[in-house]
Amino acid sequence: MDDEFGAGYSRVLSGTLVLAGVGGRTADQALAAGVEPRKVWLAVCDVQDVPVERRLGRDVKPRAE
């Protein structure tokens, strides 16, 4: 969530945004209840209209060794 929304705002969202996709819980509540993190993330993406191309996170190129 930090990559998409920034560290501060992602904390606000995870504690206050109620997600129908995980039983009407916040992300924090859903994770504490054992909901799979990917399912929680996708529920956040649906509510926040995160484009499909950004739902897997940003591409990080491997470092050359």
Please give the sequence-ordered ranges of beta strands (E in DSSP) within the chain, or none if there are none. none
- Please tell me the predicted confidence (pLDDT) of residue 64: 78
13-60 pLDDT per residue, tens = 999 999 999 999 999 999 999 999 999 999 999 999 999 988 887 777
The CA distance from 19 to 47, in Å, is 7
Q: Say if residue 7's pLDDT is above 90.
A: yes
The strand pairing partners of 25, in sequence order, are 19
Q: Which of 62, 47, 61 is nearest to 5 (CA)?
A: 47
The set of long-range contacts for 55-61, using a CB threshold of 8 Å and a minimum separation of 24, is 57/3, 58/3
Instruction: Supply the pLDDT for residue 47.
Output: 96
Cα–Cα distance, 6 to 10 (Å, whole number): 6
Indicate the pTM of the whole model. Answer: 0.83
